[in-house]
Structure 1
């Protein structure tokens, strides 16, 4: 008899424990599917859940957040009324992960039929999924997908000289410079240097005027240490006794993921972060990892993307998202409502914007009326 899809709620202690055990038993131990880390990354009003299928030796694990859709998108609204629900996946890489299945296509057909029946009963309007970069980890998806931007993955399963020669010449030049200047690399896989990392990271976020969501505090990192014991590492660059650059890596069984990082502006000329990433690759390989996900830029083809490409010039992989409309009529009403809110605020609706779902676009504040010299509104 075939097993059925179960929906686990991370707020229910027994279900969260089962999820944690399933993740622990998985062959990839994908960090972005660990329930305690997913909880730390939850968006506002997002209820952490997982759709799970345990079928003999095969398993499917799909973490997601179930969110209520506010009745109005006006920025000043505090009515608390709800216009439905939608689904979004955790920050990073994820989607419906699977392992041990005999026939992933057959399992996918059953999984999505049962999952969609649950979603319909919950009043789910749409679903947004951030996919893993590796198709072999993913259950086939039944809806539209969108290629967002390039990410870079470095193959670590190569000889020493190939690992070094495989980065761009400017990276080798910058790493040599850092070494000549006396930069020393420290690997901390226990979290003892979290204060050094926080100082570097938050300073970088201030310099870049990053959104508040990215300004994680010490409590967040302490929670991360508890969620992923033995599966994280800080790679720090020390110069003249001070930490001047640092990256935080999250670790799966065979894959290391760049997660967060930063550099002191005063040390830019020494190029410490080039050496941080070079030594991160060396260290990951020494631990048996076979690939290093550096990620991409904030926007396609920006300076950050070009920087990461320097470490994996032949490792471009498309990062994609899944975007399904599960209740079309309700979805269209919500989009039209948000479009009208833009119009009411005097802001044009950009039909080319690929934000999904579009009804969650942030509506700008209403523009103040302009006054003429005589005092009449124009």
Structure 2
């Protein structure tokens, strides 16, 4: 197979330009594969890069962060510098477009990737994977089911969108309309300050981790990276914007990204109307699926709420993990166990956190951000 393989570094101007050019030419223009969006979704440091392979007119694009492993830990495990890989927050993994021989491309891509990883002392890899297998290059490592996500099929007639939702959703939408709630679609970020106000109140009410408390510059970054590929869907009541969902979308798929509701507006059920209008708007724009996501944890109230809008739209969400250097991995794990024990801490044998040599590290470095290993940001 005649293929070209390389790694692009987002902080190198020419590489970033090439990455954006490649992304712009792809059929989907996947919002979570743009380098500037990936950079905004940095969860725990590292250098942003993308492994890219071209095969004729087809491409593979795999964004990731290359993180240096703590020097204290590597010193205890032999002394050499070591690295690991984690994908940006959101839906990602190794994505492909326009490739006919997917199995052949997969074999070639991972062979070259693993050679590069070995040359660069990469010990392990953790990847948050897309829900849609038709655009994901077959993953070569272990996949782990994390939770259920909900996806609404928008390819139905417009009159059918109000069907296959929970009776409570229909009731709440009727309640919102009776109360005079209307919707406002903002595709320019004109009302971003209202979004930040509503979102911040929501995060404070839920006592969310600092990482989720995005401020205006974060959203301005989204606007700059994805012009024409985002929309804020607001609910307005008595002249005030009181609830909102931020949507990101490619050419076919839309994604719920972030949102919130003022507590004082709960009684008029504005967010049910927001989500129904989001589906209608995305359908009118030609999108065929709407990814609502899942909960913070499996079967929590947020997951149950989203299920109400896509009763037959369950998708399993998986993460991927690979140990690329087994010997180094075991050395790091043993050194991590010893470090925890020296600080009077136990290693959590029951946890599935990967890589295991980072498991519980926040107790040693409480200032380091800890981000859950799921698909979406909190709503």
| TM-score, reference length from structure 1 | 0.92
1:194-232 alpha-carbon deviations (Å, 9 max, x no partner) = 000000001111111111111111111111100000000
Q: Determine if contact 2:348/2:360 at 8 Å carries over to the other structure.
A: no
Partner of 1:299: 297
1:196 paired to 2:194:
yes
1:31 paired to 2:31:
yes
1:163-201 alpha-carbon deviations (Å, 9 max, x no partner) = 101111100001110111111100000000100000000
TM-aligned CA deviation for residue 337 of structure 1: 2.0
The correspondence for 1:168, drawn from 139, 163, 166, is 166
CA distance in 2, matches of 1:154, 1:102: 28
Partner of 1:322: 320
Partner of 2:107: 109
Partner of 2:209: 211
The correspondence for 1:128, drawn from 126, 129, 139, is 126
Partner of 1:149: 147
Q: Gaps (5+ residues) in structure 1?
A: 74-80, 367-378
Shift of the 365–119 alpha-carbon distance from structure 1 to 2, 3 Å rule, reads closer
1:360 paired to 2:351:
no
CA distance in 2, matches of 1:296, 1:342: 33
Partner of 1:71: 71
SS in 2 for 1:4: strand
Moved more, 38-47 or 83-92: 38-47
Partner of 2:62: 62
CA distance in 2, matches of 1:333, 1:188: 52
CA-based RMSD? 1.6
Q: Determine if contact 1:68/1:82 at 8 Å carries over to the other structure.
A: no
TM-aligned CA deviation for residue 83 of structure 1: 4.5
CA distance in 2, matches of 1:3, 1:278: 44
Q: Determine if contact 1:52/1:62 at 8 Å carries over to the other structure.
A: yes
CA distance in 1, matches of 2:143, 2:276: 33
Partner of 1:42: 42
Moved over 4 A (4+): none
1:182 paired to 2:180:
yes
Tell me the number of residue pairs that the alignment of Structure 1 and Structure 2 aligns. 360
CA distance in 2, matches of 1:194, 1:144: 40
CA distance in 2, matches of 1:25, 1:309: 34
**Where in structure 2 are the equivalents of 1:326-341 lying within 5 Å?**
326-341=324-339
Partner of 1:372: none
Moved more, 34-43 or 289-298: 34-43
The correspondence for 2:308, drawn from 298, 306, 310, is 310
1:347 paired to 2:345:
yes
Partner of 1:376: none
CA distance in 2, matches of 1:93, 1:49: 16
CA distance in 1, matches of 2:252, 2:80: 42
Q: Determine if contact 1:70/1:82 at 8 Å carries over to the other structure.
A: no
SS in 1 for 2:295: coil
Max Rg structure: 1
Partner of 1:13: 13
SS in 2 for 1:299: coil
CA distance in 2, matches of 1:345, 1:310: 46
CA distance in 1, matches of 2:364, 2:143: 32
Shift of the 252–172 alpha-carbon distance from structure 1 to 2, 3 Å rule, reads same
Partner of 2:370: none
Partner of 1:242: 240
1:92 paired to 2:90:
yes
CA distance in 2, matches of 1:72, 1:181: 60
Q: Gaps (5+ residues) in structure 2?
A: 74-78, 366-379
TM-aligned CA deviation for residue 3 of structure 1: 2.3
